[in-house]
Amino acid sequence: MAARIETMTETNSPAILVENLSKTYGSGSSAVQALKDASMYVQPGEVVGLLGPSGSGKTTLLQCLGAILDPSGGRISLGGDVLFENGWQYSDRRALRRDRIGFIFQRPYLIPFLDATENIAVLPMLQGQSNKQAYQRAAELLETLGISHRAGARIEQLSGGEQQRVAIARALANQPPIILADEPTAPLDSDRAMAVLQLLHEMAAKSSTAIIVVTHDENIIPVFKRLYRLRDGVLHEEKGEGRPFDYLEKQSAAS
């Protein structure tokens, strides 16, 4: 299919807009509807939580938003560009993921034979930036995330928290307007989990990045101002507490 992007006319389009999205696995009597007319939005600079039990459709939703999985119906728009409606409207989904969507997973999935800087710089290089530009971008991100002193360390030399910060830096390397984080704090203790989530909020505010965070972590849920909860493929919007991080740190210290 030839590349075609339909641009919405609104000047403040959400960074992510999902309308009546559905996904069905299988057919006939064995069909399973993983998503049922799901609708949601995330504004630039906003961090939204996505909650739900295992098997509720969270990963399916994230994979559809990340142009990894084909929805069965509905519409997905990023920044006003219609990317899916009766099929993908973007011919090169690999370029879409590389340039416009950052991914953070439960595990860092870093390249073991590269050091921290190289793991980050590889994405800008694939985008066509020079080695100098890519390494400069990696150095800036390592500095921002507080691990510039580990720039030359191999992956096995990094702690779990340091590896996750490198993974976050990699997700930010091409300055994508969208970040999809699938339980990024799952392997971390409560202090490191809170630090990672605070970094995501800071990055969102600084770069106007829209971030969706899938989580089961009850300790970090109060941070979100808005939440979406998936139950049996149906998406429900909820108002979050929007607690400041210093409040949660005090609560954690007192418990």
pLDDT digits (tens, 9 = 90+) for 145-161: 889 999 999 999 999 88
pTM for the model stands at 0.86
For 18, half-sphere exposure in the C-beta direction (CA atoms, 13 angstrom radius) is 26
Sign of CA dihedral 142, 148, 152, 157: negative
Q: What is the pLDDT of residues 183-242, one digit of tens each?
A: 888 777 777 778 888 888 988 998 899 999 998 888 889 999 999 999 989 999 999 998
As a whole number of angstroms, the distance between CA 245 and CA 10 comes to 33
Strand, helix or coil for residue 130 = coil
Confidence of residue 8 (pLDDT cuts 50, 70, 90): very low
Spatial separation of the C-alpha atoms in residues 236 and 234, rounded to whole Å: 7
Sequence-separated (6 or more) residues with CB below 8 Å from residue 11 = none
Beta strands in 43-164 (DSSP E): 47-51, 73-78, 81-85, 101-104
Give the residues across from 229 on adjacent strands: 51, 236
The Cα 201–Cα 46 span in angstroms is 8
Cα–Cα distance for residue pair 32/249, rounded to 1 Å: 42
Going by the DSSP 8-state scheme, the letter that residue 206 receives in this structure is H
Give kind and range of the element (H or E) at residue 166. Answer: helix 160-172
Measured at the CA of 244, the angle between CA 148 and CA 190, to 5 degrees, comes to: 60
Which range (74-88, 89-103, 161-175, 184-198) has the least confidence? 184-198
Taking CB atoms within 8 Å and a gap of at least 24, the contacts of 139-148 are 141/169, 141/172, 141/173, 142/116, 142/117, 142/166, 142/169, 144/169, 144/203, 145/169, 145/199, 147/116
Task: Report yes or no: 152 and 160 within 8 Å, Cβ to Cβ.
Answer: no
